[in-house]
Chains A and B, each alone.
Chain A
Amino acid sequence: DSGVTQTPKHLITATGQRVTLRCSPRSGDLSVYWYQQSLDQGLQFLIQYYNGEERAKGNILERFSAQQFPDLHSELNLSSLELGDSALYFCASSVVPGGGYTFGSGTRLTVV
């Protein structure tokens, strides 16, 4: 167990739907990062939060949004889902930005 908890582990949903992925960082870690791993794109950075504030954005679609709550857990919201959004979504955390990352076990999203 890495200490980073992601739920759910698997999610199957239909095109056009909206889902929410949840991440609880390791105890004491203030930074949370979201990554997407698809077969053809590899591991892509989506967005970073530090202590509740958005810190950096990567290749995140406008249909996707995220937030980090006061208890430091984070949620990634994916809406108007398309078949191409099927992927593994990882959350990672670190004590400070730039420190060593610890990844959760991921959420496997399948859009049908």
Chain B
Amino acid sequence: GIQVEQSPPDLILQEGANSTLRCNFSDSVNNLQWFHQNPWGQLINLFYIPSGTKQNGRLSATTVATERYSLLYISSSQTTDSGVYFCAVAGNAGNMLTFGGGTRLMVKP
């Protein structure tokens, strides 16, 4: 199956800083999503982005499908951005999402 690797595994930021999270995947995909898991365990869908670039407020994402990676940008981070960010992909051979190991982000005030 598809392998999904996320980096860095842990990230500590001061409030107001910017960050870039990376997701590498091992095969062609027809679905790529970024999720934020908040401290209460909820999985919040941030982006559905199998290719191209999208922006939503302080967050943006870019997927370069031909090079098999995606980036999530967080600008002017806030303490409420803390949590775990997951990248998940589905390949052409099946429809289920395979999740990466996540990036645990802590934003300090």
Contact = CB atoms under 8 A, between A and B. Distances in A.
Interface of A: 2, 31, 33, 42-43, 45, 48, 55-56, 58, 88, 90, 92, 97-103, 105-106, 108
Contacts of B53: none
A45 B86 CA distance: 14
A56 B1 CA distance: 14
B99 A42 contact: yes
Contact of B95 (A90, A98, A106): A98
B73 interface: no
Interface in B13-69: 30-31, 33, 35, 41-45, 48
A100 B45 contact: yes
Contacts of A45: 96-98
* Contact residues of A: prevailing secondary structure: strand
Interface string B81-109: 00000101010001111110110000000
B9 to A, nearest CB: 12
A106 B45 contact: no
A103 B41 contact: no
A45 B42 CA distance: 17
